Amino acid sequence: MTKHVTSSHWGAGIADVKDGKLTGVSGHPGDPDPSPINDNFVDSIYGSARIKKPAVRKGYLENGPQHGGNKRGEEPFIEVSWETALDLAAKALDTTRQKYGNEAIFGGSYGWGSAGRFHHAQSQLKRFLNCSGGFVRSEGNYSYNTALVLLPHIVGDFEGLTRNGTRWSTIAKEGELVVMFGGIPLKSAQVSPGGCSRHRLKGELLACHAAGVKFIDFNPCKSDTPAEICAEWLAPIPGSDTAIMLGLAHTLLIEDLHDQTFLERYTVGFDEVKSYLLGKKDGVPKTAEWASLQSEIPAERIRELARQMARSRTFICTAAGLQRAEHGEQTLWGTITLASMLGQIGLPAGGFAIAYGSDGGIGLMNRPLRWPSFPQGKNRVKTFIPVACISDMLLHPGEDYKYNGKDLSYPDIRMIWWAGGNPFHHHQDINRLIKAFQKPETVIVNEINWTATARFADIVFPVTTTLEREDIGGGQRDNSLIPMPKVIDPVAEARDEYDIFTEIAERLNFDKDFTLDKTSRQWLEGMWQDLCVMSSGVGITLPNFESFLTGDIIEFEDPNPETVLLSEFRRDPEQNPLTTPSGKIELYSDRIASFGYSDCPGQFTWLPPTEWLNSEQARSFPLHMISGQPKTRLHSQLDAGKYSQSSKVKGREPVMIHPKDANARNIKDGDVVRVFNDRGACLAGAVVTEDIRERTIYLCTGAWYDPATPGETKSLDKHGNPNMLTHDKRTSKLSQGTAAHSALVELEKFEGELPEITVYDPPLSND
């Protein structure tokens, strides 16, 4: 048995190999809280779902590309030689750019892909497409796109805010109260872009609790916050957080608990906020009683909390999930407005945070230098779409739409190349996405396993996993470099993406531009040399590359462990202005107001969702579905693995349901249920628990889409994918973010023989 240090998005690990075969991956001994997601590796690498050879959809192989009318997701695949697959891909790319231009090519590389700095699927694909003349790209992300677009208008760049976010260690020393909207889910903090050496969040939260910090959690799901910190659980109607924030703000205002001095010096636009809170704009004062009607949180508890927040050193923490709902911008604007009224922004353990707990790095650590990456080159195509608009783009080419003050139109896409992601996990309303995916002439997918996205392709390339190649591990917010040696040989005919793209580039005569005459190893050695130079600047001498690959984690010092968000701005706002138009926090934004968007006006505003429990639609579909992140995998990655499978109920994704809602439907713990609305239906396994509020269910994302009848409109998904049920609306015209958490459903006990799960079986032709 040999052991190798390795890394993944869920942390550093130790890979065990016997007779050339991976037998397991355990947590690194230096990690105080390692993630069990490592247990998914073995089955995903060697299981039936692994793509072993290049494959082409039968209809595409026989008839070639067609614009519309395809049978993607329905037809089987035929395994072909590498030469055939590479020739077909090269021909499709060349024909598309010659006939329609590079504006007809969509580089759909969205997702977590590889944790390595070189074999990063998005960087590999984007460099390749840029060398071929460019491509239409997506902008933003599904996780926190509202923050990426909104926050620069009102307080500053989101990435800068997270990088310089207040540390939990500071809250333990100085804090008294943490008010959470959406909790601090440890399951999400298992993962961090690029990986992490140590999972720190649980320990930091326990330190805060031990120091006497009190936690209050507004959250429909109690288990989104670790029980050990003894948070007070307040379970509002999903989608009502903005109303609660307004009720708190109204109490602060009318009881003169707000910090007028802070508001005058550090913000602009509070007079507009004040007018709205008092009801002068719409005739509705945003009292605690009004907020209680929207949220079902008692009015007196809202008032008491406002007073408690005003007399305490208070940290307001809003989860990323809250913005993934209709008008999700408003919860973020509300967070900043409420923190501004308290006047504690820039003080230790005061102010606000966005998306803490959404990954294992925010609020915990920073790196002293920027890790090198595989250069993507320059994209000569300027056209882009907001990331959540892919179905709209494919279904409505040429249609106009609005985004962040811009008037744009959708391109006419004839070819998609997807690498390092799974839109049939990330994107909403799968039935609509299925229709959209029939439109392009060619869809090429690089994949490890037969995910739904691979099944909706024309050409599928089998690619290596992180354990089948060598790389450099370095997390986006982590302070460590982690060796990623080649642990095992590639399974079957899997190849590195760099080699695949190199061979296609050779066929089209731009291989020199793509490779710069370098092998993978030469690229990695060059990146390591860059790291050596940068590291010497912070007083660390790195070993040579070979020694690094065979060694252990190299940890750097956190450059600023006492970080407090916006402390310099608070100290001197004139010398340290924000990047907003006024240089201050914009509680009212003239710029956003000038866009004229009815779904995102110029200030923090209550805009009820179309689908929520107080809507008319709740008469037909009386349960609000939350589709959060799973505990047992990263999104949909490695769903075939042992740990992911361990949480399934009779092979289906578990769905949390309150005992009263279960009893009303004659559902018992462990039953298989049919979850449905007018968009679609899926099966799931009932978990009856009081950790979820009444009239709410929790169905995690990431179960691979497994239709009972492939190709049939609105076929039942046998496996439990919530995007059968989510709508494909956006948060607003401002950010065009996904609004997945605004979905109403009903469920019933499934009667009859359970259909077999077949999504892990290769969709190969028997001919």
User: 220 and 361, same structural domain?
Assistant: yes
* pLDDT given at position 163: 87
Among candidate residues 759, 721, 718, the one with its CA nearest the CA of residue 740: 721
Confidence band of 602 (pLDDT split at 50, 70, 90): very high
Q: Up-side HSE of residue 734: CA atoms within 13 Å toward CB? A: 32
20 in any annotated domain: no
In contact, 324 and 141? CB cutoff 8 Å: no
Answer whether residue 1 shows pLDDT above 90. no
Strands (E), 463-613: 471-474, 480-484, 554-555, 585-586
Written as six digits, the tokens of 164 are 């310089």
Range of the domain at 538: 518-549
Phi, psi values for residue 282, rounded to 5°: -130, 5
Catalytic residue list: 110, 112
Answer whether residue 666 shows pLDDT above 90. yes
Looking up residue 126, the CATH number of its domain turns out to be 3.40.50.740
In contact, 328 and 322? CB cutoff 8 Å: yes
* pLDDT given at position 159: 87
**Averaged confidence pLDDT in the chain:** 96
* pLDDT given at position 592: 98
Confidence band of 290 (pLDDT split at 50, 70, 90): very high
User: 582 and 534, same structural domain?
Assistant: no
558 in any annotated domain: no
Q: pLDDT tens, 98-151?
A: 999 999 999 988 878 888 999 999 999 999 999 999 999 999 999 999 999 999
Confidence band of 238 (pLDDT split at 50, 70, 90): very high
28 in any annotated domain: no
Confidence band of 484 (pLDDT split at 50, 70, 90): very high
* Model confidence, pTM: 0.97
User: 191 and 179, same structural domain?
Assistant: yes
User: 672 and 545, same structural domain?
Assistant: no
Strands (E), 562-622: 585-586
In contact, 415 and 121? CB cutoff 8 Å: no
Answer whether residue 36 shows pLDDT above 80. yes
11 in any annotated domain: no
**For range 161-190, the mean pLDDT:** 95
Instruction: Return the percentage of the chain with pLDDT > 70, whole number.
Output: 100
One-letter-per-residue 3-state SS of 679-720: CCEEEEEEEECCCECCCEEEECCCCCCCECCCCCCCCCECCC
* pLDDT given at position 111: 79
User: 440 and 422, same structural domain?
Assistant: yes
Q: pLDDT tens, 643-661?
A: 999 999 999 999 999 999 9
User: 727 and 686, same structural domain?
Assistant: yes
765 in any annotated domain: no
Answer whether residue 713 shows pLDDT above 90. no
User: 339 and 407, same structural domain?
Assistant: no
* pLDDT given at position 67: 94
538 in any annotated domain: yes
712 in any annotated domain: yes
Element (H, E) at 126: helix 121-131
640 in any annotated domain: yes
User: 681 and 660, same structural domain?
Assistant: yes
Number of structural domains in the chain: 4
Answer whether residue 366 shows pLDDT above 90. no
User: 114 and 162, same structural domain?
Assistant: no
User: 639 and 690, same structural domain?
Assistant: yes
Answer whether residue 767 shows pLDDT above 80. no
* pLDDT given at position 711: 84
The Cα–Cα gap between 413 and 416 comes to: 7
Helices (H), 255-405: 260-266, 270-277, 288-295, 299-311, 329-342, 390-395
User: 669 and 643, same structural domain?
Assistant: yes
Looking up residue 264, the CATH number of its domain turns out to be 3.40.228.10
Which residues fall within 8 angstroms of residue 91, CB to CB, at 6 or more apart? none
User: 464 and 415, same structural domain?
Assistant: yes
**For range 609-629, the mean pLDDT:** 96
Looking up residue 668, the CATH number of its domain turns out to be 2.40.40.20
